[in-house]
Amino acid sequence: MKLMKALLTATAMTFAVAGAAQAKTLVYCSEGSPEGFDPAPWTAGTSFDASSRTIYNRLIEFAPGSTETVPGLAESWETSDDGMEITFHLRQGVKFHTTPYFTPTRDFNADDVIFSFMRQLDKSSPWYEYAPGIAWEYFDSTGMATAIKEIVRVDDHTVKFVLTRADATILATFPMDFASIVSKEYADQLDAAGTRERFNTHPVGTGAFTFVDYQQDAVIRYQAFADYWDGKQPIDDLIFAITVDPGVRQQKLVAGECDIIPYPNPADIEGMKANPDLTVMQQEGFNIGYLAYNTRQAPFDKPEVRRALNKAINKQAIIDAVFQGTGQAAVAPLPPTSWGYNDQLVDDPYDPAAARAELEAAGVSGLKMKVWAMPVQRPYNPNARRMAELIQADFAAIGVEVEIVSMEWGEYLAQSSALDRDGAVLLGWTGDNADPDNFLAVLLGCDGVGSNNRAQWCHQPYEDLIQKAKTTFDQEERKKLYDEAQVIFKQEAPWATIAHSIVTMPMRNSVQNFKQDPLGIHRFVGVDKSE
Amino acid sequence: MLRFALSRLLLVVPTFVGITLIAFLFIRILPGDPVLLMAGERGVSPERHAELMAQFGFDKPMWRQYVDYIGQLLQGNFGHSFSTKRPVLEEFMARFPATLELALCAIVLATVLGVAAGILAAVKRGSWIDQATMGTALVGYSMPIFWWALLLIILFSTSLGWTPVSGRIALTHYFPSVTGFMLVDSLLSGRPGAFASAVHHLVLPTIVLATIPLAVIARQTRSAMLEVLGEVYMMTARSKGLSPSRVIGLHALRNALIPVVTTIGLQVSVLMGGAILTETIFSWPGIGKWMIDSISRRDYQVVQGGLLLIAAMVMLVNLTVDLLYGLVNPRVRHV
Amino acid sequence: MTVQTPDPTLDPVPGAGPAAQPVPPLLENWHYFTRSRGAVVGLGVFMALVAIAVLAPWIAPHDPAMQYRDALLVPPAWTAGGREAFLFGTDAVGRDILSRMMHGARFSLLIGLVVVTIALASGIIVGLVAGYVGGRTDALIMRLMDIILAFPSLLLALVLVAILGPGLFNAMLAIALVLQPHFARLTRGAVLAEKSREYVTAASVAGAGHLRLMFFTILPNCLGPLIVQATLSFSSAILDAAALGFLGMGAQPPTPEWGTMLAEAREFISSAWWVVTMPGLAILATVLSINLIGDGLRDTLDPKLKRS
């Protein structure tokens, strides 16, 4: 049976291959295996690259290379005056993929939209847990689960979301991966066949690429979707060659086995820039790496102590040794590519002498503290251990003795949230969506104390500003509120803002029109390859 | 013989039950919470956490979880991966052929070269050939293979560009997997150059993985040959006027091979350990890499199921070797 | 186990089995040992390593943790761009590789020593008890050893370290546990072979207690194979600890353990070869020297292979 199936696929493949003798193939050497191909249950960017950004579309999309939103499967949308209803007008004539395992009989319509969201909301649906242990992390953690009261089908091409509260940040979640639109018809087919788990292994979407095959931990193959609503892609085949080791990715790029790679070793970047066959794109990542003091613990409850310590940290040395130049010293708790970023802020100067004097003035001497270093590599901190060692040396220079603490990652995340945590913790954040609220409120708001607010910092003037911004619908107005909030943040210094990473995408010169995405996803819509 | 085989088989049963218990216990005492790891920096609310733990049955008492687990095992259910939500057995089978292919190539290489080198050294005992072979074997035996792999990559892939850096076959070759063995599938596909490409990709990982077994087999063959060559019946054979090559080929080798075969069988466990390192370095999509990833993700069910399947495999090979040994060497049956 | 199969990882040559003779006088052993040129070379290298390890704080040119921020990834002194101050070059944060290697010798030798001590001590006790008491105790213990041996050692060590938490000491414990069954089996086999001998019966008749019989009458007579096994385990321990360090589960940075240094060096494979090459060479040299000694010891202590 299995052999039969394989042979059938083989025949199908031979046709596909034979038909495209001059096929343009783009090889992307990805950094890991996707968890699955249904974008909604997963949280890893690797899974999103392989599913939502290739196979699927959303109602609202990000314009390529920007955090600006553009119409996707919804041609337009409007929010009611009280902010309690959002109505989407859907695009017509959008086709779902035809694959060996599914042939659509109708175009995309309101039923697909309702199904895509309701399967994550309605606990009584058989799709709520269609594979053992499947869960809707993003849907829950972005607050969608509590924000949606009901989804109304107005007609075939109009859908109304009725909300439980007015929230200016909710629109920012519609371009996120979990909000990808899946096919209700395909789901019904699997329902009838009793093979729901195939929804995650054999995906069907409306996106620019059709899923062809996945070989575990090795290769994912896609084909350009000829009937894509926005026109067929310039390339014919897209291949994700899973290559975990960054050194290996770089070698394969140089050898021409890959056309484009993510996350190179910082040490290799200079060499690649010098290589005439390669183009290296760089952009600030949508993230922030920070050192959060425990503002409930003496002497770190005093802003002057925190500011003094911030002055002792040599950020440039960290950028050089930890980021090997692929980082940028952070001033604000937001990445510079965010529309809410306050570019008027001035960073604490690196001044050990002043730091020492200010510590003394605050009545602190012989200070011993702990610095927590994460055990894993993250985009905002490629080597926390090394960073902690540098900070240890910097603090030693002003007479502060540092003990470095590390533990298993899950433990680290849990214990660093504790209110009575001993010491300052190195951590960071990558933006889920383009809204500044996702940094400023999630990481520093009063609600986050004891969880995501690792500084345990609840400062009323700051809190008032970000709460006001949440219910302000005018972006200009919101920007002003966020600017002010960042000024307060800098004065109070609950964190030492360390760095934003610089995301590097090396590619072969033949790759055309690739745009780096500020949110760190990798998208190949519109990308071409010259001969 | 039958009684011997039965007694060996009877020993396997309690060992296997012990293995399930150990694998189960290991996983329960592993610190680190898979739900927290999955949530990452975003975190998870306590209620949601409890809900997810319950979904996986972690809220039940330990003995109950074990009974459930054994019940599932008897139905051939090894649980579901926490990260991909797919059945563990399915995930294992998707990757196992890659490891098996690599391991088989390594063991064939190690056996052919190792036995040849061992015989050569034994026959030329004390000569420079003997010393060079055994010196090399000792270096191979002492090799940190993860470093060896890096050196080979630097030399053959980065500097000389002779071998590909990683993967199982060039991406331009695409054909569906029939057997899961790239060498076989590439031949079946009938695509020109596919088989060559598969071989090309196998060379470095095979060399790395074969290094230690090769050294062990060479040393083992040499000493087994020396022992046999010194025995009385060999002198008889020689005195009967048989030519030296006949003596070595027929009489000595046959007798010397018994311990060598045992050694080869026992290399399976070594190979599985080596596969973890080799697969990690060469991005080889096999079970060694899968286990490492799963341990660091705290994918309980995968680690548990993987440990069990790997241990079962090692036991099966050891049992076969034991039985073979009993077959060719009747003395051990009555010990 | 009824079949005493030779252990592949540690003892490639048969005969180091349970039936070895009582240890001949020390002087005679030394004489045999020195007849092997390899063993003498191995011993020399090993002594040099011990000296380096002991004297590391005094002879290392730099503090192994000192970061020279103006000297990141400086190549070795003999190559273009190298500096005399850093003979083997520096790593990504400007630490002197030679000094780190010298200090690393301390960790590797410590690992070998601690692991072998734990594995040997526990293995001997377990093996003695199993062999001496026999019956169900024996069966139970031997099944347990079978279970441990059914897992590939590196995989088992990895899982154990994941349980105990990554770190040098935990890695040593895990490796000791994985190596221990070899000692237990060896001891048990030897005890079984010796138990029925006349000298044991004589001691028993003369009124020696169980403990005395186990430890003072029987044990000294099976020391030969145990010593050989201990030497070989010493090198396995160093290799396994380095592998764990390489996989990020052993000693944690900035500890200058060789495997851990290699793990950190992986990203420099195409840009800074010296960061990759040097620690590996140190591991190879150490393991090789110990294995040379082990071979020499086996030839000496194992009468079956003794040169006549």
CATH of the domain at C237: 1.10.3720.10
Contact of A250 with chain C, judged by CB distance below 8 Å, is answered with yes
Instruction: Name the band, by pLDDT with cuts 50, 70 and 90, for residue B180.
Output: confident
DSSP B255-289: HHHHHHHHHHHHHHHHHHHHHHHHHHHHT--SHHH
What chain C residue is nearest to B10 in terms of C-alpha separation? C143
**pLDDT tens, per residue, chain A with 531 residues:** 444 444 444 444 444 444 444 689 999 999 888 989 999 988 888 899 999 999 999 999 988 888 788 999 999 999 888 889 999 999 999 999 999 999 999 999 999 999 999 999 998 999 998 887 788 888 887 788 888 999 999 999 999 999 998 888 888 889 999 999 999 999 999 999 999 989 999 999 999 999 999 988 889 999 999 999 999 999 999 999 998 888 788 888 988 889 999 988 887 888 899 999 999 999 888 999 999 999 999 899 999 999 999 999 999 999 988 888 789 999 999 999 888 999 999 999 999 999 999 999 999 988 999 999 988 778 889 889 889 999 999 999 999 999 998 877 778 888 888 899 999 999 999 887 888 998 999 899 998 888 889 999 999 999 999 999 988 888 889 999 999 999 999 999 999 999 999 989 999 999 999 999 888 889 999 999 987
Would you call C93 and A267 a contact, using CB atoms and an 8 Å cutoff? no
Report the length, in residues, of chain C.
Answer: 308
| For chain B, percent of residues with pLDDT exceeding 90 | 20
Burial class from Cβ neighbours inside 10 Å (0-12, 13-18, 19+) for residue B323 reads middle
- Does C12 sit within 8 Å of B216, measured CB to CB? yes
DSSP output for A92-161: SSPPPPPBTTB--SS---HHHHHHHHHHHH-TTSTTTTSSTT---HHHHHTTHHHHEEEEEEEETTEEEE
At B329, list the tokens: 């060497």
- What is the C-alpha to C-alpha distance for residues B14 and B8, in angstroms, rounded to an integer? 11
Domain that holds residue C300: 99-247+281-307
pLDDT tops 90 at residue B185:
no
Report strand pairing: A219-224 vs A209-215: antiparallel
In this predicted structure, the answer to whether residue B165 has a pLDDT above a threshold of 90 is: no
**Within a domain: residue C198?**
yes
The alpha-carbon radius of gyration of chain B (Å, integer) is: 24
Report the chain A residue with the minimal C-alpha distance to residue C253. A385
CA atoms within 13 A on the CB side of A420: 0
Model confidence band, residue C79 (pLDDT cutoffs 50, 70, 90): confident
State yes or no: pLDDT of C273 exceeds 70.
Answer: yes
Cα separation, A104 vs A115, in Å, equals: 16
Q: A285 with A380: CB under 8 angstroms?
A: yes
Residue written as token pair 């788990």: A197
pLDDT in tens, B76-92: 888 888 788 888 999 99
Which residues of chain B are within 8 Å of residue A378 when distances are taken between CB atoms?
41
- pLDDT score for C24: 53
H/E run at residue B184: helix B182-189
Interface touch A428/B36, C-beta < 8 Å: no
**Contact call for residues C232 and C294 (beta carbons, < 8 A):** yes
A87: three-class secondary structure by DSSP:
strand
Is a pLDDT exceeding 90 seen at residue C131? Answer: no
Which residues on A lie below 8 Å from B167 (Cβ)?
218, 241, 243, 257
Q: Which two tokens stand for residue A230?
A: 């926005």
Residue B104 C-alpha, separation from nearest chain A C-alpha, in angstroms: 20
CATH 3.40.50.800 assigned to domain B94-334? The reply is no
Q: Quick one: pLDDT at residue B188? A: 85
Q: Report the domain count for chain C.
A: 1
Q: Which residue has the tokens 């080799």?
A: B278
**Among A residues 297-356, those touching chain C with beta carbons less than 8 Å apart:** 317, 320-321, 324
C263: tokens are 């793990």
Interchain CB contact of A392 with C (< 8 Å): no
Judge whether residue B1 has pLDDT over 50: yes
Contact assignment for A267 to C166 by CB distance below 8 Å: no
Quick one: closest CA in B to A414, which residue? Answer: B36
Lowest mean pLDDT among A218-227, B24-33, B129-138: B24-33
Query: Hey, is the C-beta of A245 within 8 angstroms of any chain C C-beta?
Result: yes
Q: For chain C, report the end-to-end CA distance as a whole number of angstroms.
A: 32
Of A256, A95, A44, the residue nearest B38 (C-alpha)? A44
Establish if C89 belongs to a structural domain: no
Q: Identify whether C67 is part of a domain.
A: no
ipTM computed for the complex: 0.84
Beta bridge partners of A69: A62
Q: Give chain B positions within 8 Å (CB) of A137.
A: 38-39, 42, 44
**Per-residue pLDDT, A239:** 95
Q: Quote the pLDDT of residue C27.
A: 67
Residue C264 lies in a domain: no
Contact between chains at A197 and B86 (C-beta distance less than 8 A): yes
Query: For residues A216 and B94, is the Cβ–Cβ distance under 8 A?
Result: yes
Reply yes or no: is the peptide bond before residue C254 cis, omega within 30 of 0.
yes
User: For chain C, which residues lie within 8 Å of any Cβ of chain A, measuring from their own Cβ?
Assistant: 67, 69, 72-73, 92-94, 165-166, 252-254, 266-272
Is residue A496 within 8 A of residue A315, CB to CB? The reply is no
Query: Of A427 and C224, which is predicted with more confidence?
Result: A427
Instruction: Grade residue C22 by pLDDT with cuts at 50, 70 and 90.
Output: low
Q: Contacts of residue C283 in chain B, CB cutoff 8 Å?
A: 144, 147
Interface test mutation site (partner B, options C1, C5, C148, max chain B beta carbons within 10 A): C5
Judge whether C55 lies within some domain.
no
Measured CA to CA, the distance from residue C233 to residue C16 in angstroms comes to: 14
For residues C152 and B279, is the Cβ–Cβ distance under 8 A? no
CB contact under 8 A, B158 and C154: no
pLDDT band of B235, cuts 50, 70, 90: low
**A267–C254 CB contact, under 8 Å:** no
pLDDT digits (tens, 9 = 90+) for C28-52: 777 777 777 888 899 999 999 999 9
Nearest Cβ partner for A132 among B32, B34, B85: B85
- Characterize the bridge pairing of strands A287-292 and A327-329: unpaired
Candidates A388, A380, A271; CA nearest to A327 is: A380
pLDDT band at B245 (very low <50, low <70, confident <90, very high): low
Q: With beta carbons less than 8 A apart as the criterion, state whether A318 and A498 touch.
A: yes
> Which residues in chain C have their CB less than 8 angstroms from residue A247's CB?
266-267, 269-270
> Residues 6 or more apart from B150 whose CB is under 8 A from it?
B281, C262, C266, C269, C276, C280
Confidence of residue B233 (pLDDT cuts 50, 70, 90): low
Rounded CA-CA distance C155/C9 in Å is 15
Q: How far is CA B248 from CA B220, B245, B255, C16, in A?
A: 16, 5, 10, 25
Q: What is the pLDDT of residue A14?
A: 43
Higher-pLDDT residue of A102, C19:
A102
Across A433-437, A459-463, C134-138, C297-301, least confident range? C297-301
Please provide residue C165's backbone torsions phi and psi, each rounded to the nearest 5 degrees: 100, 140
Query: If pLDDT is split at 50, 70 and 90, which confidence band does B334 have?
Result: very low
Half-sphere exposure of A23 (CA within 13 A, CB side): 18
Distances (CA, A) of C116 to A227, C8, C120, C178, C223: 67, 18, 6, 11, 14
pLDDT attached to residue A252: 85
Q: Give a yes or no: residue C42 inside a domain.
A: no
Q: Is C58 domain-assigned?
A: no
Alpha carbon of B142: minimum distance to chain C alpha carbons (Å): 5
Q: Which residues contact A22 (CB under 8 A, 6 or more apart)?
A: none
- Tell which residue, A233, A225, A185, has the closest CA to residue A206: A225
Query: Which residues in chain C are contacts of A408 at CB distance < 8 A?
Result: 165-166
Q: Tell me the nearest-neighbour CA distance from A386 into chain C, angstroms.
A: 8
- B232: how many CB neighbours lie within 10 A of its CB? 7
Which two structure tokens, joined as six digits, stand for C154? 């590196």
Q: What number of C-beta contacts closer than 8 Å exist between A and B?
A: 141
Phi, psi values for residue A414, rounded to 5°: -70, -50
CB of A515 less than 8 A from some CB of C: no
Cα distance between residue A353 and residue A397, in whole Å: 9
Distance (Å, rounded) from C-alpha B224 to C-alpha B122? 9
If you measure CA to CA, which chain B residue comes closest to C274?
B151
Contact across the interface for B281 and A219, Cβ inside 8 Å: no
Do residue A317 and residue C73 have CB atoms under 8 angstroms apart?
A: no
With CA atoms as reference, the chain C residue closest to A405 would be: C252
